[in-house]
Amino acid sequence: MEEPLLYINVPGLEHYPHVTYTWVIMIVLAISSYLVGRRITLIPEGGGQNFFEAAVEWIANFMEENIGHGGSKYMPLIGTLAFFILSCNLIGLIPGFISPTANINTNAAMAVVVFLSYHYIGIKKHGIVKYSKSFAGPIWWLAPLMLPVEIIAHLARPLTLTLRLFGNIKGEDLVLIILASVFPLLAPVPMMFLAILTSIIQTVIFSLLSMFYIAGALEEHH
């Protein structure tokens, strides 16, 4: 199968287009945030501020519900991931562009960030000794059994985050390419709506699982 035409080619990165488009998305999000931040007023006057305020408020409330009281303070991490993942998912729907999340390396990097972050949050909240004891289970004589099980379960988390997002977005892009080549006039439109829905769902799933991991790290263990 031929690769789609890439409108942005950076010398030296021809074989790593996901890196190019990752930087494109980061630059666009940074500039958008800066422009909206400059124009913030007490009473919103433009659509940009209304959109960002609504998005931030929704994410904050969503995090409070799933993490618990004070969960919104982790919004910089979850919110940044959510905006970035959604942008990465959707950019691949533009003809000639590709989704960085259709590359396993992009997703693995985000999954590792989540993995390290929630362990750091747990250690900061409980201390390294108490947090480490949570891996041994509630009954001391079950520790030899529970410890390896817990370690494997935690190591599997970044793997599942990576593969779930990669598989769905890569599969979505391949289906769009195949259908567009076979039915260039009929298939793309309904598939485009389905792809947008998939992109949103995968963003929510990644963000929601990240919140669950943080909530688990903050939970009091006895």
Give me the residue spans of the domains in the chain.
Answer: 17-218
Considering the chain, what percentage of its residues have pLDDT values greater than 70? Answer: 84
Check pLDDT > 70 for residue 28. Answer: yes
What are the two backbone dihedrals, phi and then psi, of residue 175, each rounded to the nearest 5 degrees?
A: -65, -40
Check pLDDT > 80 for residue 171. Answer: yes
- Residue-wise pLDDT tens digits, 48-78: 667 777 877 887 888 888 888 888 888 889 9
Q: What is the pLDDT of residue 46?
A: 61
Of 100, 110, 108, which Cα lies nearest the Cα of 21?
Answer: 100
Amino acid letter, residue 13 = L
Q: How far apart are the first and last CA of the chain?
A: 55
What is the rounded CA–CA span in Å between residue 29 and residue 38?
Answer: 14
Q: What is the pLDDT of residue 164?
A: 94
Does 209 or 192 have the greater pLDDT score? 209
Check pLDDT > 60 for residue 3. Answer: no
Q: What is the pLDDT of residue 4?
A: 47
Q: What is the pLDDT of residue 95?
A: 75
Q: How many Cβ atoms from other residues are within 10 Å of residue 104's Cβ?
A: 16
Quickly state the pLDDT bin for 201 (edges 50, 70, 90).
very high
The angle that helices 104-126 and 143-182 make with each other, rounded to 10 degrees, is: 150
What is the rounded CA–CA span in Å between residue 187 and residue 196?
Answer: 14
Q: What is the pLDDT of residue 119?
A: 93
Does 179 or 208 have the greater pLDDT score? 208
- Residue-wise pLDDT tens digits, 114-164: 999 999 999 998 888 888 888 877 777 777 888 888 899 999 999 999 999
**What are the Cα distances from residue 65, in Å, to 20, 41, 79, 106, 120?**
36, 28, 15, 28, 21
Its pTM stands at: 0.82
Considering the chain, what percentage of its residues have pLDDT values greater than 90? Answer: 32
Q: What is the pLDDT of residue 51?
A: 75
What is the rounded CA–CA span in Å between residue 124 and residue 118?
Answer: 10
